Amino acid sequence: MFDKKTVLTGVKPTGTPHLGNYLGAIKPAIDLGNRAENHYMFIADYHAINAEKDPLVLNQKIKEVACTYLALGLNPNHSVFYRQSDIPEITEITTILYAYTPKGFMNKAHAYKACVDKNREADKPDDDGINMGLYTYPTLMAADILSFDTDIVPVGKDQVQHVEIARDIAGAINAHYGKELLHLPEYYLAENVAIVPGVDGRKMSKSYGNIIPLFDDDKAIKKAVFSVVTDSRPMDEPKDPDSVMVYEIYKSIATPDQLKEMADGLREGRLGYGHVKNMLLDAIINEIKEPREKYNYYMAHFDEVESMLQEGASKARPVAQRTLKRLKDAVFGR
């Protein structure tokens, strides 16, 4: 499905990821990119400034996200890996798209609506604290996508609407000029991606404080794994594996054989919570050992990452330049 296709993935620099981000989002995105004929992968740093105003914090987050993807298997020789702000054509294209973006689209975009809802709940004016960057963010995202003649944008549910907005804007422009100036993208909503539970059983999320870290040292990972909730049933009491949270987390990382071993041991009362936690810990450490070394290496040698990003930008720019030229020629009647 992805061979012969151009796939584009954008990531916001949100800081060091946890195990749930890795298994639920990062790994599938990298795998999919590797299968695509053309893969563009970029760090959405212009999107990030809408929320993050501290340059030092922002810079650190951008570094972390770049090193994370490289450490976890993004191949910069296959995927064109760049920073959004290194491609000025994207913002020029955004300006042209504005002229074809009904304001109503922005009013309806759910990221903006969610902020309005929050303000209403807090008895604040609707647009309190909302900047134009956030308000118009779907148009910039449309330019991210349309600049590269993208076929497919892999997304989570929350981003489907944004890809549809990109399609609608592109469709309006194509209809107006009577030719395919912009390629219409499709979203790809991955089915059955792992939703990894956190140590308390709710979805793993930084905001719940229930994460298992990814690039921390063994001690920190062990501490998190051993805090996964259990009950007081004794070891020799046969247990339904699905009633054991450690097993639920193990599902997203273990091989089928490993999983069966844990399930059998729980059912037969051979494995206690200490055992299964150690099994989970081993599986996690085994999975992240190499990426963690790579991550630490890249963070300490960011100049190497910087040159990869520059190289990515030098591959991406000519493509965006072509799209921009096509648009300007049509818009200005050249």
Tokens matching residue 15: 């800081």
Please state the closest distance from residue 43 (CB atom) to ligand TRP, in A.
9
In the complex, minimum distance from the CB of residue 144 to ligand TRP, in angstroms, rounded to a whole number: 4
Q: Which CB sits closer to ligand TRP, 147 or 210?
A: 147
Query: Residue 19 or 41: which CB sits closer to ligand TRP?
Result: 41
Cβ-based neighbours of 25, under 8 Å, separated by 6 or more: 156, 193
Give me the least distance between CB of 239 and ligand TRP, in Å please.
38
Biggest CA–CA distance in the chain, Å, is: 80
The alpha carbon torsion through 24, 45, 53, 142 (nearest 10 deg) reads -90
Binding site for ligand TRP (CB under 6 A): 8-10, 12, 44, 47, 141, 144-145, 153, 159, 162
Closest separation between CB of residue 141 and ligand TRP, Å? 4
Shortest distance in whole angstroms from residue 171 CB to ligand TRP: 17
CA 123 to chain centre: 32
CB 93 within 8 Å of CB 166: no
Decide whether 150 or 210 has the Cβ nearer to ligand TRP.
Answer: 150
Nearest position to ligand TRP, beta carbon: 10
Q: Closer to ligand TRP by CB, 47 or 61: give it.
A: 47
Comparing CB distances to ligand TRP, the nearer of 44 and 316 is 44
CB–CB of 5/152 below 8 Å?
yes
Of 141 and 225, the one with the shorter C-beta distance to ligand TRP is: 141
Nearest distance from C-beta of residue 12 to ligand TRP, angstroms: 5
Q: Give the shortest CB-272-to-ligand TRP separation in angstroms.
A: 40
Q: Is 209 exposed, middle or buried (0-12, 13-18, 19+ CB in 10 A)?
A: exposed
Q: How near is the Cβ of 108 to ligand TRP at its closest, in Å?
A: 16
User: 40: alpha, beta or left, given left = phi > 0 and alpha = psi -120 to 50?
Assistant: beta
Q: Which is nearer to ligand TRP, 158 or 240 (CB)?
A: 158
Between 50 and 252, name the residue whose CB sits nearer to ligand TRP: 50
Let me know if 251 is exposed, middle or buried by CB neighbors in 10 A (0-12, 13-18, 19+): middle
